[in-house]
């Protein structure tokens, strides 16, 4: 099992401290205090040091932690800052992203920084798939891939529950044809803004229920070279479709298996649900897709060395 966290060279993000069910984070030049139920330990800095450093603090509402309102609350301004601002992300492999953040009505700001290792994986994997396609093209004079431009095949990537699109952008930056799907129109619009900020174009945007879409792709006989899934514990589709992770996830994975290319393809499954371990995520993925490719936890390390586990992942690679 792997423990992965963002590269230390990410200049626009820092987990400064964590504890007492909160985290102190810097996004670009602005410092935020947000609730974090997994920060069970004491803070390393004093409360006054947190307050004096931060620009804004998320104050949970009366329904915080309850189904449908688990992230609800309001932002308390401590120092002047804009409600929206951009940050950059780049890695050692050449991935460069520009992302717009914002103080939403919930505790989220439009990016989950612990996901950076997954962005890196998607970027590297798409590059590797293209290299393999070029090798086949040189040997056989053609490649039976999903799409091509200028004689070079472009992998087709499907990103489900895609939120504001960092993984979609990573795949597109690497040269893939990307279908980005989320049930919330506002976050798809946000993702489109991030595409423009990152100097990219050509992503296919879909607002729909993930399971309904995948079942339709199965009927149509469509296939993808990579599938990214980051499903919530529960939710609703744009037409009121009910999503509950425990009841729907394996059905979705089995349908995804029917549209995943049999060779030179991958699946990335990320889960935030507190009841799901990395082993469980990997068992689900292996049962649905077969094979393997690694699994583990995504964590953030604060400036004092405390490790904050935030999600689990499984990666399936078909060579």
260-315 tens-digit pLDDT: 999 999 999 999 977 899 999 999 999 999 988 999 999 999 999 999 999 999 99
- Give the per-residue pLDDT at 141: 56
Assigned domain for 88 exists: no
Last-in-domain residue among 59, 80, 101:
80
Cβ contact 242:252 at 8 Å: no
Categorize the per-residue pLDDT at 137 as very low, low, confident or very high, splitting at 50, 70 and 90: low
- Give the per-residue pLDDT at 273: 74
Percent of residues, the chain, with pLDDT higher than 90: 83
Cβ contact 140:132 at 8 Å: no
The H-or-E segment that residue 120 falls in is helix 116-140
Q: Say whether 48 sits in a helix, a strand or coil.
A: helix
Tell me how far CA of residue 274 lies from CA of 165, 232, 246, in angstroms. Answer: 23, 11, 12
- Give the per-residue pLDDT at 161: 98
Assigned domain for 95 exists: no
Assigned domain for 310 exists: yes
Tell me how far CA of residue 202 lies from CA of 139, 172, 178, 196, in angstroms. Answer: 30, 8, 8, 10
Categorize the per-residue pLDDT at 151 as very low, low, confident or very high, splitting at 50, 70 and 90: low
Assigned domain for 264 exists: yes
pTM of the model: 0.92
Assigned domain for 265 exists: yes
The number of residues making up the chain comes to: 319
Q: Is the pLDDT of residue 106 over 90?
A: no
**76 and 117 together in one domain:** no
**60 and 180 together in one domain:** no
**53 and 197 together in one domain:** no
Among the residue ranges 27-31, 136-140, 224-228, 279-283, the one predicted with the least confidence is 136-140
- Give the per-residue pLDDT at 146: 54
DSSP letter for each residue of 206-259: EES-HHHHHHHHHHHT--BSEEEE---SEEE-TT--EEEHHHHHHHHHHHHHHH
Assigned domain for 21 exists: yes
Domain of residue 58, CATH code: 2.60.40.1180
**151 and 255 together in one domain:** yes
Cβ contact 265:225 at 8 Å: yes
**32 and 154 together in one domain:** no
Other residues' Cβ atoms within 10 Å of the Cβ of residue 133: 21
- Give the per-residue pLDDT at 138: 58
**213 and 171 together in one domain:** yes
Phi, psi of 213 (to 5 degrees): -65, -45
Assigned domain for 4 exists: no
Domain, as residue range, for 58: 9-80
**127 and 187 together in one domain:** yes
Interval 208-220 mean pLDDT: 98
Last-in-domain residue among 80, 104, 123:
80
Last-in-domain residue among 80, 102, 126:
80
Residue 35 to residue 48: CA distance in whole angstroms: 17
Long-range contacts of 141-147 (CB under 8 A, 24+ apart): 145/225, 146/177, 146/223, 146/224, 146/225, 146/261, 147/177
Interval 118-143 mean pLDDT: 80
Assigned domain for 283 exists: yes
H helix count then E strand count, the chain = 7, 19
DSSP letter for each residue of 129-145: HHHHHHHHHHHHS----
Categorize the per-residue pLDDT at 131 as very low, low, confident or very high, splitting at 50, 70 and 90: confident
**153 and 19 together in one domain:** no
Phi, psi of 47 (to 5 degrees): -60, -40
Q: Please list, in sequence order, all residues whose beta carbon lies within 8 angstroms of the beta carbon of residue 170, skipping any fewer than 6 positions away.
A: 95, 97, 119, 120, 122, 123, 126
Over the stretch 55-90, which tens digit does the pLDDT of each residue have? Answer: 999 999 876 555 555 567 999 999 999 999 999 999
220, exposed or middle or buried, with CB in 10 Å at 0-12, 13-18, 19+?
A: exposed
Domain of residue 281, CATH code: 3.40.50.150
**122 and 236 together in one domain:** yes
Interval 153-162 mean pLDDT: 95
**75 and 118 together in one domain:** no
> Considering its fold, how many domains does the chain have in total?
2
**68 and 156 together in one domain:** no
**144 and 70 together in one domain:** no
């Amino acid at each position: 099992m792997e423990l992965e966290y963002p590269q230390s060279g990410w200049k626009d993000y820092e987990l400064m401290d964590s504890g007492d069910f909160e985290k102190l984070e810097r996004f670009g030049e602005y410092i935020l205090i947000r609730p974090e139920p997994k920060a069970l330990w004491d803070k390393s800095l004093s409360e006054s040091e947190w307050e004096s450093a931060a620009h804004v603090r998320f104050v949970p509402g009366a329904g915080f932690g309850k189904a449908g309102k688990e992230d609800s609350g309001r932002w308390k301004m401590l120092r002047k800052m804009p409600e929206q601002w951009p940050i950059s992300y780049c890695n050692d492999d050449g991935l460069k992203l520009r992302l717009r953040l914002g103080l939403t009505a919930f505790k989220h700001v439009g990016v989950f920084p612990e996901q950076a290792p997954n962005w890196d994986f998607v970027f590297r994997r798409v590059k590797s798939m293209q290299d393999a396609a070029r090798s086949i093209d040189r040997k056989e004079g053609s490649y039976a891939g999903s799409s091509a431009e200028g004689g070079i095949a472009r992998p087709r990537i499907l990103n489900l529950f895609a939120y504001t699109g960092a993984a979609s952008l990573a795949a597109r930056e690497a040269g893939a044809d990307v279908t980005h799907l989320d049930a919330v129109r506002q976050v798809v619009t946000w993702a489109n803004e991030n595409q423009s900020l990152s100097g990219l174009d050509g992503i296919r945007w879909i607002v729909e229920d993930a399971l309904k879409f995948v079942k339709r792709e199965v009927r149509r006989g469509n296939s993808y070279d990579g599938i990214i899934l980051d499903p919530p514990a529960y939710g609703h589709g744009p037409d009121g479709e009910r999503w509950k992770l425990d009841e729907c996830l394996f059905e979705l994975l089995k349908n995804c298996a029917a549209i995943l290319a049999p060779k030179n393809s991958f699946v990335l499954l990320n889960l935030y649900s507190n009841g799901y371990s990395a082993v469980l995520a990997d068992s689900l993925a292996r049962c649905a897709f077969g094979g393997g490719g690694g699994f583990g936890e995504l964590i953030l390390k604060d400036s004092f060395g405390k490790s904050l586990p935030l999600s689990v992942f499984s990666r399936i690679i078909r060579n």
